[in-house]
């Protein structure tokens, strides 16, 4: 009898904590005899077509770098959030074998960002009781966010920030509409931003010495830096921002949030 199977596709995926997270989840919920979570290292997204034949018990898939946009054409249908964002990080394999794409990055990032920024505000203020998520949302409304990178994960991040009323500017290797090149990013751009989010794989194991090339000297205690990378726990990007007095958070809370949302989606079969 085939185990009910879930898994992660991406390349590379040696950095991912998802398999450990779900393996522990299955054990805690006494599902480990019937459920499993596997890693599917896949350089070319076309390999997704053979997964169901190779794993008859496959019921759900997480998608990570670099396939979140490339996987969209392989979906039979998209839910509203995935269609609006243009990227998929969670797939449900329906009973008829078709695939439905979802985007839970949006939910995981938004919730974790607000929670981590609230913790930062509380650490700075003696009047902790006066701070809550509504205050954080008011502070973010109309503020500028710089999103480093333009890959699939950045689309969910931008959508989440825009839902909070933030102005969003993407930073990439080349300039374009609402997009500035790294080489053109100035200290004034940094100073004007409230939030800086790294959505690139720079700093991820094993390349822990890498980091986005931005004017870190312009960062101070008014800033908050969030890195979607969570392995290592503190990237060079976060360390540099923290050294300048900024609040910081990695993407582990986002991972947990999107994992919970993903399990809810898979359980609706």
Catalytic (active-site) positions: 68
> Per residue, what are the HEC states of the chain?
CCCEEEEEEECCCCCCCHHHHHHHHHHHCCCCCCEEEEEEECCCHHHHHHHHHHCCCEEEEEECCCCCCCCHHHCCEECHHHHHHCCCCEEEECCCCCEEEECCHHHHHHHHHHHHHHHHHHHHCCCHHHCCHHHHHHHHCCCEEEEECCCHHHHHHHHHHHHCCCEEEEEECCCECCEEEHHHCCHHHHHHEEEEEECCCCCCCCCCCCCCCCCHHHCCCCCEEEECCCCCCCCHHHHHHHHCCCEEEECHHHHHHHHHHHHHHHCCC
Rounded CA-CA distance 25/259 in Å is 10
């Amino acid at each position: 009898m085939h185990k009910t199977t879930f898994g992660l596709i991406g390349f590379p995926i040696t950095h991912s904590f998802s398999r450990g997270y779900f393996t522990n989840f299955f054990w805690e919920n006494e599902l480990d005899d019937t459920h499993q979570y596997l890693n599917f290292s896949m350089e070319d997204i076309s390999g997704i077509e053979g997964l169901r034949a190779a794993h008859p018990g496959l019921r759900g898939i997480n998608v990570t770098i670099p396939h979140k946009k490339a996987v969209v054409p392989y979906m039979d249908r998209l839910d509203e959030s995935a269609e609006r964002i243009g990227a998929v990080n969670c797939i449900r394999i329906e009973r008829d074998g078709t695939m439905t794409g979802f985007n839970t990055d949006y939910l995981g990032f938004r919730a974790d960002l607000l929670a981590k920024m609230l913790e930062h505000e509380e650490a700075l203020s003696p009047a902790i009781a006066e701070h809550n998520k509504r205050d954080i949302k008011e502070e973010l409304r109309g503020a500028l966010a710089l999103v480093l990178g333009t890959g699939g994960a950045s689309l969910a991040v931008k959508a989440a920030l825009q839902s909070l009323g933030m102005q969003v500017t993407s930073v990439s290797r080349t300039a374009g509409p609402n997009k500035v090149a790294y080489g053109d990013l100035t200290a004034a751009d940094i100073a004007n931003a409230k939030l800086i989010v790294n959505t690139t794989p720079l700093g991820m194991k094993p390349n822990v010495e890498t980091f986005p090339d931005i004017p870190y000297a312009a960062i101070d205690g008014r800033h908050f830096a969030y890195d979607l990378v969570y392995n290592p726990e503190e990237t060079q990007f976060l360390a540099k921002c923290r050294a300048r007095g900024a609040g910081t958070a990695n993407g582990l809370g986002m991972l947990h949030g999107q994992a919970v949302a993903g399990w809810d989606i898979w359980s609706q079969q």
